[in-house]
Structures are given as structure tokens and as C-alpha cells.
Structure 1
Amino acid sequence: MSFKNKVVIVTGASSGIGAATAIAFSKEGARVTIVGRNQEKLRYVSEQCSAVGSKPLVITADVTNDEDLKKIVHGTIKHFGKLDVLVNNAGIFSIDKILSENVVDSFDKVIATNLRSAVYLTHLAAPHLIETKGNIVNVSSIVGKRVTIENCFAYHTSKAGLDHFTKCVALELAPKGVRVNSVNPGFVRTDIMQVLGVKKEAQEDFWDSMTKTSPLGKVADSEEIADLILFIASDKGRSITGSSFVSDNGAILVPHLGNIELQA
């Protein structure tokens, strides 16, 4: 799956799935723009990309800021001259209860990060993707298809919206030669629990529980999801658009996941 001379933007690239995806694209010859908020983590990912491919363009940005989103696209075009693939991966997770006092503020923040940013970045990138007959991969989740965790309605809602947005834009851009798809991971071992402030012991209990409830008896790593993203974005996926690809070790097949509840 060579991406030689292809230009790729990956948001949320400072860790987890985004970082693994940026590194994988670099390894396949792509010229990559990596986007995130944490400069130190981006620097580390940049070094890893450079070790297997070319040095990426590093853009420190907050995807909830419209001017930063413009900077991502305009900076990429200025630096590389074109755009072939957009990976909307930036996202946050939150613990929300509808009866919580500040629930709307939390909801707005999750929607702005997980959904609105993808909409606006797609709007900005689409004219350039039309020129290259490129494509978009949105990183969603199995929670867009079913409720798996209690007290996380904002996150679930944002991913369900992202799935439907994917299909709508896929239909609109198909006549222009641009494909739009999403990947829907299950539980992937990243630093998300640490970011949420979950205690280390509770983190291990959570991952152990996810391993035991998984039909395949394991939790995915970020590289597995990156492999799927690259396949969809490559010429091997040239007839695929408007689709959602679940990679969850069979978790979505389990009738009841045990009413998972996270406590920060």
C-alpha cells in the first residue's frame, strides 16, 4: 500500500491511533501533517515518522478553534502543495450524566471536538481533495452503533453523528471522485484512561474486563486500527465509500457488555 508522494493530514496525532496512523503513513512513503495540542508528544511522533520516512509537518492546533483548523489546511497546502488524504481522528472522551449541573458545557465541548471539527475541516479540505481525487477517513467508534458505557452519552452521540456525517458527505462528494469512510474501533489500549484521571489500578481492572468480555479475548492496539485506516485510504479501497468499518475484536457481537461505568 504505497503512499509515495501522497500528502496526508492526521489530526489527534500526538498519541494513540493518530500517532500510529501518522507513523504508518510515513512508513509507506506519505508526506504527513501531524496535528495535536501537546507539543512534546508531537515532537516524539515526528521523530518516529522521520525514522521510518520523511519528516512530517508539525502543526500545534486546537481543533475546536476555527482559525487553527484553517491553519491546518492552509499550512499543509503551502508546505506540500496538495492534499490526498484527511484523517479526522481528533477526539475527546467524557463522563456525563444528564442530571449533572454542567452537562451542557461538557456536551458542547465533546461535540465541538469530535464532530464539529470534522465537519469544518472536511469543508476546508474538500476542494483540495477534489483536485487530487483523494479521500477522507473519519475515526469513529462502536459506540456510534450501540451504547456500551454508562454515563457517556455525549461521546456516544458525537460518534453516531460522525457516522451519519460520513455517509452524507460520501454521497455528496462521490460524483467528484472523493471517497469518505469511517473506522469504528472498539476498545483500544491508549492513554485515554490516564488522560481521564482514572487511577492506575482501575485502569488495569478496566482493560482486564475488556479482554475477558471480548470474543477474541484481547483488546486492540493502535497499530491495528492504523492498518485498517491505511487500507481504506489506499487504492485497494478505491471502490469503498460511505462505509463504516468495525474493528473491535467482536465486542459489538456481545449482547451485554456489563454496563461498563467509568469513574474519574
Structure 2
Amino acid sequence: MDFKNKVVIITGASSGIGATCAVKFAKASAKLVLVGRNVDNLSKTANSCRNFGLHPLIIVADMCKEDDIKKIVDETVKYFGKIDVLVNNAGITMMRDIEGGIEAYDRVMRTNVRGPFLLTDLAMPHLIKTKGNVVNISSILAHRPMAKMTAYCMSKAALDVFTKCAAAEFGPKGVRVNSVNPGPVRTDIFKAAGLDEEANEMLFSTIEKGIPLRKVVSSEDVAEVVLFLASDKACCVTGSCYEIDCGASIQQIKP
């Protein structure tokens, strides 16, 4: 897949799936805009991309802040002159009881739903000009309830519906919108949510034993699907939610 002269914005590019997507797009010759909150980690991602002769634009931004989201679009267009692909990857999870109050819910929804909604809104005039596309990073938890992950599950369900609504609205204008719904991915997201190293390893070990393919998805696996959906090879794909989960969503409860 060739993305030469294509301008690709990736949020949450400082680590995990976002960082891996950045390197994959760099290999495919894309012009990259790397967005995240941690400038040191963004610089590491950018350095990995420079190995392929590229010089990404780094934008430090918080997806909870409207001014920061506006800055992403403004600086991208000022630097590159256009937007071809938007990868809404930035997201957080917080493991909380429903009775734990509204604060965690508000933070998760601002980052995982409101942020992508606003960024897509602001980027859309430029995507219409280029007949570009949007790839949202969702989760299989959009349709699989999980205790203590209520806000996260709700946010990803909302993101999937947003994907389909946006695809219906902007398809006639030549813009495709899809989502990728990974199963458990071996990143630091659960540690960031509060698990220590030992608990994190135990969780993934348990997950692997219960999944049909007996393994968990890697960031590289997810990135390959993202690149496909963003490419011209997926020119007839829009409004779709692609599950990549090693069979986690079809695992059966044994009697």
C-alpha cells in the first residue's frame, strides 16, 4: 500500500497502536502528523519514522481541550496544505464502579467520544476536498459488557454509531468513515487504568487461554487493518466496524 503524498493525522501517536500505525504509514511514504500529550514519547515515534526518510509534524495536544483540537487541524493545513486521512486513535480507560461517581465517566467520554467527534468535524472540510477518509479506533467492548469498564464500553459503542452516522452523512461527498475494533491488545492501556505489572500479565494470560486462537492481538496486527481501510484498496468500504480479536468476540461459555 502506497501513501506517497498523502497527509495522515494520527492521534494518540506517542505509544501503543498509534505509534505502530505511525511507523507503518511511514514505511508506506505518508506525510505524518503525530498527535499526543507526551512530547518525549512523540519524539521517539517521530525518530522511528525518520528511519524511512520522513520528517513528521509533531503536535502536542489534549483531546479534551477544544483549542488543542482546533490547533491540530490548523497546524496540519498550514504545514502540509491538506488532510487525506484522519486516524482517531487517542483514547483512555478507567476501571471504576458505576457507583464511583461521574468524574471518570466524564473524562472517558470527553477523550473517547467528544474529542474524535470535534476533530472529525473540523477536519471534514479538508477531507471532502481530498476525498479522504477517517479510521476510528474502537474496541470489541463496544458490544461486550465488562464490569468496572462501563464508561469505556459506552464510549466505544458511541464511537461505532458515530462511525456509521458519519459514513452515511459524508459518503455522498466522497469521504469514507470506518472503525477498527480490536480485542485485547498487549499495550499499556490496562496498566494506565490502574493494574500493576503482575496483575496485567495475569490478565493477558487468562485472556489468551480463553480466546479461540489462544493469543492476543498485537499493535502491528491492528495497524495493518488501519492501513488497509485508509488505502484505496478499501475504496468501497465505509460505515464498517472491523473486529480484529483472535476470536474473542465469538468465544463460547462452556457448560
TM category (shorter chain) comes to: over 0.9
Is 1:184 the counterpart of 2:198? The answer is no
> For residues 63 and 188 of structure 1, what CA distance do their matches in structure 2 show?
22
Q: Tell me the equivalent position of 2:122.
A: 124
Structure 1 match to 2:232: 235
Measured in 1, the distance between the counterparts of 2:193 and 2:175 equals: 36
| TM alignment of 1:111-190, pairs within 5 A | 111-147=109-145, 149-190=146-187
Query: Would the aligned equivalents of 2:85 and 2:127 in 1 still touch at CA under 8 Å?
Result: yes
Partner of 1:260: none
Between the aligned partners of 2:252 and 2:116, the Cα distance in structure 1 is: 31
- Amino acid in the other structure paired with 2:32: V
The alignment covers a number of residue pairs equal to 254
Superposition CA RMSD, Å: 1.1
1:123 and 1:163 map into 2 onto residues whose CA distance is 16
Moved beyond 2 Å, runs of 4+: none
When residues 256 and 112 of structure 1 are mapped into structure 2, their CA distance, relative to the original with a 3 A threshold, is farther
| Equivalent residue, structure 2, for 1:67 | 67
Partner of 1:11: 11
Show structure 1 runs of 5+ residues with no match: 258-264
Q: Indicate conservation of the 8 Å contact 1:27/1:53, yes or no.
A: no
Q: Are the equivalent residues in 1 in contact too, given 2:95–2:194 (CA < 8 A)?
A: no
- Alignment-derived partner of residue 84 in structure 2: 84
Is contact 2:94-2:194 (8 Å) kept? no
Q: Which structure 2 residue ranges, 5 or more long, are not aligned?
A: none
Is the counterpart of residue 213 in structure 1 residue 214 in structure 2? no
Give TM-score scaled by structure 2 length: 0.98
TM-score in terms of structure 1 length: 0.94
Q: Deviation digits for residues 42-74 of structure 1, max 9, x if unmatched?
A: 110000011124111000110110000011011
CA displacement 1:178-234 (0-9 Å, x = unmatched): 000000000000011332332211111111111111110101110110000000010
Match of 2:143, as an amino acid? Answer: K
- Per the alignment, residue 58 of structure 1 pairs with 58
Match of 2:30 in 1: 30
Shift of 1:256: 4.2
- Contact 2:135/2:229, CA 8 A, preserved across alignment: yes
* Residue 141 of structure 1: how far off its partner (Å): 0.2
Could you tell me whether the CA contact under 8 Å between 2:12 and 2:18 is conserved in 1? yes
SS of aligned partner of 1:91? coil
Residues 225 and 247 of structure 1 are in contact (CA less than 8 Å); yes or no, is this contact kept in structure 2? yes
Q: Is the 8 A contact 2:108 2:155 kept in 1?
A: yes
How many Å separate the matches in 2 of 1:22 and 1:177? 24
Partner secondary structure for residue 154 of structure 1: helix
